[in-house]
A and B are shown apart, each in its own frame.
Chain A
Amino acid sequence: MTKRFFKALATSAVLSVGIAGGATAAECIAPANPGGGWDFTCRQIGKILFDIGAVDKPVQVTNMPGAGGGLAYGNVVNERGSDEDLIVAASSATTTRLAQNAYAGMTADQVRFVGAIGADPGVIVVAADSDYQTLGDLVEAIKADPGSVAFAGGSAVGGFDHLKPLMILKEGGFTDITKVKYIGVDGGADAITQTVGGFTQAMTGDMSEVVSFLSNGDIRVIAVLTDERVPGFDDIPTAKEQGYDVVAVNWRGLYVPKDISDAKFDEWAGKLQQVADSPEWAQAMKDNGLAPFTKVGGDFQAYVDGLVADIATMSKELGVTQ
Chain B
Amino acid sequence: MDILANLAIGFGVALSPYTLFLAICGCFLGTIIGALPGLGPSNGVAILIPITFTLGLDATSALVLMTSVYYGAMYGGRISSILLNIPGDEPALMTTLDGYPMAKQGRAGDALVLSGVASFVGALLATIGLMLLAPTLARVAFYFGPAEYFALYLLAFCTLGGMASNNQAKAALAACIGLGIAMIGVDSSSGLPRLTGGNLHLFDGIDFLVAIVGLFAIAEVFFFIESHGKGSSIGVKLEKVTIPWKDIMATKWTMLRASGVGFIAGILPGAGASLGSFLAYMTEKSVAGPNGGFGTGAPKGIAAPEAGNNAAAGGALVPMLTLGVPGSGTTAVLLALLMTLNITPGPTLFTERADVVWGLIASLLIANVVLLLMNVPMVKIFVKILMVPAWVLLPGVTMISFVGIYSLSGSYFDLLLMIGFGILGYFLRKLDVPTVPVILGILLGGNMEDALRRAMTLSDGDPMYLFSSPIAIGFWVAAIAGFVAPMFLRGILKKPEAHED
Which chain A residue lies CB-closest to B270?
A186
- Which of B17-64 touch A at CB < 8 Å? 18, 21, 25, 29, 33, 39, 44, 46-51, 53-55
B50 touches A190 (CB 8 A): no
Q: Are B339 and A288 in contact (CB under 8 A)?
A: yes
- Once the chains bind, are A34 and B333 in contact (CB under 8 Å)? yes
- Chain A: number of interface residues, binned into ranges: 35 or more
A216 x B348 contact (CB < 8 A) = yes
Whether the Cβ atoms of B204 and A67 lie closer than 8 Å is yes
Picked from B53, B200, B453, the residue with its CB within 8 Å of the CB of A71 is B200
Most buried by B among A17, A183, A284: A183
- State the interface size on chain B (CB cutoff 8 A): 67
Known A35-B326, A67-B186; contact A197-B142, beta-carbon cutoff 8 A: yes
* Chain A residues within 8 Å of B340, by CB: 40, 43-44, 47
Expressed in whole angstroms, the Cα–Cα distance for A287 and B410 within the complex equals: 31
Answer whether residue B335 sits at the interface, using C-beta atoms and an 8 A cutoff. Answer: yes
B457 within 8 A of A: yes
Interface of B is mostly: helix
In the complex, which residues of chain B have a beta carbon less than 8 angstroms from the beta carbon of A2?
21
| B347-A218 in contact (CB<8A) | yes
Q: Which residue of A lies closest to B324 (CB)?
A: A189
Complex contact B410–A64 (CB within 8 A): yes
- Asked whether B177 is an interface residue with its Cβ less than 8 Å from the other chain, the reply is no
Beta-carbon contact of A12 and B51 below 8 Å? yes
Contacts A35-B333, A67-B200, A71-B201; is A5 near B55 (CB within 8 Å)? Answer: yes
Q: Give the docked Cα–Cα distance between A30 and B44 (Å).
A: 17
B286 interface hit (Cβ, 8 Å)? no
- Chain A, 153-181, CB within 8 A of any chain B CB: 156-159, 181
The interface residues of chain B lying within 8 Å CB-to-CB of A190 are: 269, 325
CB-based contact A150/B339 at 8 Å: no
What's the dominant secondary structure at chain A's contact region? mixed
Q: Establish whether residues B44 and A16, one from each chain, have CB atoms under 8 Å apart when the complex forms.
A: yes
**13 contacting pairs across A/B (C-beta < 8 A):** A8-B54, A16-B39, A39-B336, A43-B336, A65-B204, A66-B411, A75-B410, A104-B198, A156-B191, A181-B458, A183-B453, A283-B342, A288-B339
Closest 10 A/B residue pairs (Cβ):
A212-B346, A18-B407, A199-B145, A67-B203, A216-B347, A197-B142, A35-B336, A34-B336, A35-B332, A8-B54
Contact surface of B with A, Cβ cutoff 8 Å:
18, 21, 25, 29, 33, 39, 44, 46-51, 53-55, 141-146, 186, 188-192, 198, 200-201, 203-204, 269-270, 323-326, 329, 332-333, 335-336, 339-340, 342, 344-349, 400, 403-404, 406-407, 409-411, 450, 453-454, 457-458, 460
**Knowing that A71-B204, A193-B142, A212-B345 are A-B contacts, what are 18 other residue pairs whose CB atoms are under 8 Å apart, sorted by A's residue number?**
A9-B29, A9-B51, A16-B44, A17-B403, A35-B333, A64-B409, A65-B204, A68-B203, A75-B411, A157-B191, A185-B454, A186-B270, A197-B141, A197-B142, A197-B144, A197-B145, A199-B146, A212-B344
